[in-house]
Amino acid sequence: MAHQAHNIPWNVLAATLQLRKVNPCQNDAENFHVRKQPDVVKKLTYFTNAFVANVLDHARCDGAKYAETWVADPNSEKDDIIFTDHVAKKIEATVYRWRLDHTSEDEFGPVQRPQRKELCQHDDEATICQCPLPLKRRKQSAFQEQYSNNPCYNFFTCNADGFFSVEIVKTLLLYGEMETLLRICAGPHVDLSRWWERSICQCEIADVGWSEICRLAMYSYILLNVLHCFPETWDKAGASINDYTSTKVYQYVVHRCTKSGWTASDVPTYPHRQFFGIENGQFSNYPEPRDMERWGHLLEGRYQRLSYYPYGLMSYSEFLAFEKPVAFQPSSGDVSHVRWVLCQKGLPVELSNFILETASYSPQRRLPVPDHPLHPENRVELGKYLKYCWRLIIACAMMGQALGMEMNHFLGKMVKSSIQELFGCKCRVLFEDR
């Protein structure tokens, strides 16, 4: 059964789609296509309104649990520590992960590995701090940085401090730390509503705001629930099959939700990489096909960019290796087995863990059966992932409500654009007002 099936009319959305082996309007890709029915727009609008209403109802209900937490404190000071040591330690490793992408002096600067037990205590502005999560970044003042419009190539010059705080906000969203987030939103002069959708310059897509947490979760959540309504793509006479992985939309979602080298922020991709088992760098922002004989004709222009990514024109294994060979991605079970082998050889658990840590051998995928989310043996992990994506969407809605944003408008716009992006094509504009 699809997730939230009692509240979200997945069958209505699925009824507007049909699976075609060849779609001339999509470069002949195998994919879903919107049916030619007179009431299609009406059905899609009904689905959109129901989806948004359900999200907002859950957000209001959950937000009420934190009502006392995010009442603005008129006596709050800029130097007040806004989140606890426990929360700081919880997110520090992830902060270190994204800081490694911005170590140049004109971005966030060099960073040291996290200490096992200690947090940053540098409270002197004169001290050069290379801690992953500096103490000053946990203060109310860190979230009062105002967004500034910037010329091309000057994003970090104008917005480095504000963007650092937004990356922390994204990290807190991934960890579900709503009490901390709502406390931040209740502070004075917080400018996070303007960071909902942002780009590093006017000529780039808006992919550095915290809306990307919601958008990627929504893409994956909508697609996997729709696939539940097409059992012929994952079940054949009781036997598990994975035909859906060859469709354009499935390959697009995996690529979009796990791609490395987004203009400034990969943070929203982290949970999706782990679920789909995609390593960092498997898909890049400027892709080049390995098989030039087969795909070289797609490269165009001065910079030899792909005219289009050939989703749905190859098998899933070919898609995964389109840009680079695929490396083995261990699951938690694989890591546990290797630890067991080391201990069987006579090594103590502490030394075995040290070896695994030194070798960076940690779980990189959640699915027991890789590359096949709808396989029966993956049902538990799929359920957890769908619930997690749903929680991310609700968390973003809660945060928007706390900031006074018109989330009915913003979410409605996002659902419509998501449906268009996932299921639209050259021959059909699904929404005129998206």
Tens-binned pLDDT, residue by residue, of the chain (434 aa): 678 989 999 999 999 999 999 999 999 999 999 999 899 999 999 999 999 999 999 999 998 888 766 565 655 666 789 989 999 999 999 999 999 999 988 899 999 999 878 899 888 776 789 999 999 999 999 999 999 999 888 999 999 999 999 999 999 999 999 999 999 999 889 999 999 999 888 878 888 999 999 999 999 999 999 999 999 999 888 888 899 999 999 999 999 999 997 668 999 999 999 999 999 999 988 899 999 999 999 999 888 899 999 999 999 999 999 999 998 878 777 888 888 888 888 888 888 888 887 777 777 788 999 999 999 999 999 999 999 999 999 999 999 999 999 999 999 999 999 999 999 988 877 887 65
288 and 186 in one domain? Answer: no
Exposure of 326 by Cβ count < 10 A (0-12 exposed, 13-18 middle, 19+ buried)? middle
389 and 245 in one domain? Answer: yes
Q: 355: helix, coil or strand?
A: helix
Domain final residue pick, 158, 192, 226: 192
Task: Answer whether residue 167 is part of any domain.
Answer: yes
405 and 259 in one domain? Answer: yes
Domain final residue pick, 192, 225, 250: 192
Task: Answer whether residue 67 is part of any domain.
Answer: no
User: Which pLDDT score, from 0 to 100, does residue 70 have?
Assistant: 59
Task: Answer whether residue 433 is part of any domain.
Answer: no
User: Which pLDDT score, from 0 to 100, does residue 263 have?
Assistant: 65
Task: Answer whether residue 70 is part of any domain.
Answer: no
415 and 383 in one domain? Answer: yes
33 and 172 in one domain? Answer: no
Positive or negative, the CA dihedral 312, 314, 316, 319 is negative
Task: Answer whether residue 360 is part of any domain.
Answer: no
- Which amino acid is residue 226, in one-letter code? V
User: Rounded CA gap, 288 and 290, in Å?
Assistant: 7
419 and 277 in one domain? Answer: yes
User: Rounded CA gap, 145 and 161, in Å?
Assistant: 7
407 and 261 in one domain? Answer: yes
167 and 48 in one domain? Answer: no
407 and 320 in one domain? Answer: yes
Q: 137 Cβ partners below 8 Å, 6+ apart?
A: 164, 165, 168
User: Which pLDDT score, from 0 to 100, does residue 262 have?
Assistant: 64
User: Which pLDDT score, from 0 to 100, does residue 238 have?
Assistant: 83
271 and 380 in one domain? Answer: yes
User: Which pLDDT score, from 0 to 100, does residue 151 have?
Assistant: 87
249 and 393 in one domain? Answer: yes
Domain final residue pick, 157, 192, 227: 192
Do strands 239-240 and 17-23 pair parallel, antiparallel, or not at all (unpaired)? unpaired
Task: Answer whether residue 347 is part of any domain.
Answer: no
User: Rounded CA gap, 246 and 268, in Å?
Assistant: 24
User: Rounded CA gap, 331 and 307, in Å?
Assistant: 35
Task: Answer whether residue 31 is part of any domain.
Answer: yes
How many structural domains are present in the chain?
A: 2
Task: Answer whether residue 200 is part of any domain.
Answer: no
Please give the residue range of the domain that contains residue 26: 10-58+209-326+376-423
389 and 278 in one domain? Answer: yes
User: Which pLDDT score, from 0 to 100, does residue 228 have?
Assistant: 95
Q: Which residue bears the tokens 């992953």? A: 132
